[in-house]
C-alpha cells in the first residue's frame, strides 16, 4: 500500500482494491505533509466526438504527449499523489492511452482511472487495460430520453459496453446534475445497480464560472443524496460542498490539498473550472512547482 502524510493523519491507499485507510490518531506536522495533491486529473486531450450542449471544454484536435504525461505522473507519484485520473475531451481518442497506462502502472505506485463516454470501449480495448487500471468512470447523466437528449447518441449503444466491463474493470457512473437530470436520479440509481456500478459521482453543472442549480434544485439533490448514500457509494464534486449539508462528505478546513488538475495547456490548477494555474514549464523541478502550488492553494482557502 502507498502512504502519504496529511493534516488528518497517516493515509494509506491500495490501488487495486481502491481501499483507503486513515490513521487519524497519528498527529502530523505541516512541514511533513505530502506536497502533491492526493488525486490529480489530467486532461490528456481536448478532442471529443460527442457534442454535449453543456460541455465547457474548448474542443479541438489537441493532445498532451505521451512523454509529458508519463513524466508528470512519475513526479506526482514521487511527491505523494495516490491516483491520477485521465480525462479530456475523450481520453480513449488519445493514440497512446493504453501504452501510457501500462507504463505508469509498471513504473509507479499510482492508481489510474479514466473518465470516458464509453462508446469506444470494446472487448479488446478492455483486455489491454484491465491489468493496468484501477477504475473506469463512464459518463451517463440519465436514462432515456435524457441520455440521447444530452449526449446525442442512444443509451442502448452504450449499455453493452457496461456489460463488457463487468468482472473485468471496476466502473462507476458520472452524472452531470442540472435541471433536466436532478429529478430523475432514482432512474439512474436503478441503472447503476443493474449493471453493478462501483461508485456514483454527481457533478452539479457549471457554466460561465458558476453553478446553474437553483436553491430548490440544490435542496432536491441534497435530500436525494441523504436518502441514498447508505445504499450506494456516492461522491460529489468538491466545489459543491458549500451548497450541501451532508456530514459524510470529506472536508478539510486546514488545507485543501485533496485534488489538482493539469490542463492541456500544461498548467496545474485547483480544478478544471479554474482558468488560472501555475505553468509547469516555468519550473526546473516538480518539488518547486508543488511547493508553490501548496502555498497558492493555502492562500485561496
pLDDT in tens, 233-262: 998 877 787 888 775 444 444 444 588 999
Write the CA distances from 277 to 102, 253, 271, 290, integer angstroms: 29, 22, 9, 12
- Name the one residue in this structure whose C-alpha cell is 490518531: 25
Greater model confidence, 75 or 51: 75
Write the CA distances from 146 to 14, 149, 166, integer angstroms: 36, 5, 24
> What CATH number has the domain bearing residue 195?
3.20.20.70
Burial class for 50, CB neighbours closer than 10 Å (0-12, 13-18, 19+) = middle
pTM exceeds 0.95 for this model: no
- Poorest-pLDDT segment among 151-165, 187-201, 225-239: 225-239
Q: Rounded distance, CA 253 to CA 260, Å? A: 17
The most confident of 42-46, 270-274, 292-296, by mean pLDDT: 42-46
* pLDDT value of residue 172: 93
Domain count, the chain: 1
Whether pLDDT at 80 is above 90:
yes
Whether pLDDT at 189 is above 80:
yes
Q: What percent of the chain has pLDDT over 90?
A: 64
Q: Rounded distance, CA 125 to CA 171, Å? A: 15
Q: How confident is the model at residue 106 (pLDDT cuts 50, 70, 90)?
A: very high
Q: Which domain holds residue 111?
A: 2-300
Three-class secondary structure of residue 216 per DSSP = helix
**Contact predicate 257/46, CB 8 Å:** no
Amino acid at each position: 500500500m502507498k502512504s502519504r502524510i496529511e493534516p488528518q493523519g497517516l493515509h494509506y491507499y491500495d490501488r487495486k482494491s481502491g481501499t483507503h485507510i486513515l490513521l487519524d490518531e497519528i498527529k502530523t506536522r505541516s512541514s511533513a505533509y505530502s506536497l502533491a495533491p492526493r488525486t490529480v486529473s489530467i486532461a490528456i486531450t481536448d478532442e471529443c466526438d460527442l457534442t454535449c450542449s453543456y460541455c465547457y471544454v474548448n474542443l479541438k484536435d489537441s493532445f498532451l504527449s505521451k512523454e509529458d504525461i508519463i513524466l508528470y505522473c512519475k513526479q506526482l507519484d514521487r511527491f505523494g499523489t495516490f491516483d491520477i485520473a485521465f480525462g479530456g475531451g475523450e481520453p480513449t481518442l488519445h493514440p497512446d492511452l493504453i501504452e501510457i497506462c501500462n507504463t505508469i502502472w509498471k513504473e509507479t505506485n499510482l492508481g489510474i482511472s479514466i473518465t470516458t463516454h464509453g462508446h469506444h470501449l470494446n472487448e479488446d480495448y478492455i483486455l489491454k487495460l484491465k491489468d493496468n487500471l484501477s477504475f473506469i468512470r463512464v459518463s451517463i447523466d440519465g436514462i432515456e430520453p435524457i441520455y440521447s437528449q444530452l449526449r446525442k447518441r442512444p443509451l442502448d449503444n452504450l449499455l453493452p459496453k457496461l456489460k463488457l466491463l463487468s468482472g473485468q474493470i471496476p466502473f462507476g457512473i458520472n452524472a452531470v446534475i442540472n435541471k433536466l437530470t436532478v429529478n430523475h436520479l432514482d432512474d439512474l440509481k436503478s441503472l447503476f445497480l443493474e449493471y453493478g456500478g462501483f461508485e456514483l459521482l454527481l457533478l452539479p453543472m457549471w457554466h460561465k464560472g458558476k453553478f446553474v442549480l437553483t436553491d430548490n434544485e440544490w435542496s432536491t439533490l441534497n435530500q436525494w443524496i441523504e436518502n441514498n448514500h447508505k445504499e450506494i457509494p456516492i461522491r460529489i464534486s468538491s466545489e459543491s460542498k458549500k451548497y450541501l449539508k451532508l456530514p459524510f462528505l470529506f472536508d478539510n478546513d486546514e488545507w485543501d490539498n485533496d485534488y489538482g488538475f493539469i490542463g492541456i495547456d500544461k498548467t496545474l490548477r485547483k480544478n478544471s473550472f479554474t482558468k488560472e494555474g501555475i505553468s509547469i514549464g516555468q519550473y526546473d523541478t516538480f518539488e518547486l512547482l508543488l511547493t508553490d502550488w501548496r502555498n497558492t492553494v493555502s492562500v485561496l482557502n
